[in-house]
Amino acid sequence: MIDACGATQVCAGHKSGSEAAIHAMHNIFESDETDAALLIDASNAFNSLNRAAALHNVRVLCPIMATYAINTYRAPARLFVIGEKEHLSLEGTTQGDPLAIVSLQPLITLLGIRSSAKQCWYADDATGAGALTDITKWWNELLAAGPVLGYYPNAKKCWLVVKPEKLKKNNVFAGTGINITTEGRKHLGVALGQRSYLEEYVGSKVKEWTSEITLLAEFAISQLQAC
């Protein structure tokens, strides 16, 4: 998996992959060369994956997994719903299946060739960062090439975190449906954006932890062993 996907897809067996992605994207965003970061949310990526393309890609990129993948997905899965007829599962994979991760690698490679934006992927969650012109090209290429593999970016759930001084009146993402913020947004569960947003996010976490510890201490008065 690691050999097939390389360093860009951090959900392919890398140790502490999500932590690496978080720190890398934070450093990239803080760079003077970076205008913004685009956080991509895809519509049911695991469920809508092009199965034929996925099986082809895994035979080329990760042959050692091919037999398992073909035996699992070459025939439609039979699904039964109470009160309804039988349904055949013809596309997609099981949620979290490594096959889906490997099969998206050609898309990741293509985006890296056709755009100068710095990208990071954690399974089907993608992030592109850099100058606004580079991110625009990266987004357009993703829209064009993604659906071929069954990857459909959902603009209404995507977020562009842009530095305030880089936000222009005629923003290139206006009208795309993408949400735009100058404050910040969560990236893999961690705050990405302005310092004020980071402090607010961490402050809310500390408040939550304090409340839980206080509640636990109250339980300890009468239920010390259970606590």
Same domain, 87 and 163: yes
| Cβ-count burial 18-56 (b if 16+ within 10 Å, e if not) | beebbebbbebbeeeebbbbbbbbbeebbebbbbebbbe
Domain count along the chain: 2
Q: Is residue 198 domain-shared with residue 129, that is, in the same domain?
A: no
Q: For the whole model, what pTM was predicted?
A: 0.86
Alpha helices in the chain (DSSP H): 2-5, 17-30, 45-48, 51-61, 63-73, 98-103, 105-114, 132-145, 195-222
Question: Could you tell me the CA-to-CA distances from 181 to 120, 127, 224 in Å, in that order?
Answer: 20, 15, 46
Q: Enter the tokens of residue 166.
A: 């880089």
Same domain, 206 and 223: yes
For 100-137, b where at least 16 C-beta lie within 10 A, e where not — what string? bbbbbbbbbebbbeebebbbbbbbbbbbbbbebebbbb
Whether residue 205 sits in one domain with residue 186? no
Residue 213 and residue 201 share a domain: yes
First to last CA, the chain: 42
Residues 34 and 123 grouped into a single domain = yes
Same domain, 128 and 88: yes
Query: For position 169, what pLDDT does the model report?
Result: 60
| pLDDT (tens digit per residue) in 168-199 | 765 788 888 999 999 999 999 899 999 999 99
Question: Are 180 and 204 members of one domain?
Answer: no
The pLDDT of residue 26: 93
Assess whether 181 and 223 both reside in one domain: no
Are residue 102 and residue 183 in the same domain, yes or no?
A: yes
Q: Are residues 72 and 135 in the same domain?
A: yes
List per-block mean pLDDT (blocks of 10 residues) for the chain, which spans 227 residues: 86 87 93 94 86 91 91 89 87 83 91 93 92 94 93 93 82 86 92 93 95 94 89
Task: Please give the pLDDT value at position 170.
Answer: 58
**What per-residue confidence (pLDDT) applies to 84?**
84
117 and 210 in a single domain? The answer is no
Instruction: Show the domain range for 200.
Output: 194-227
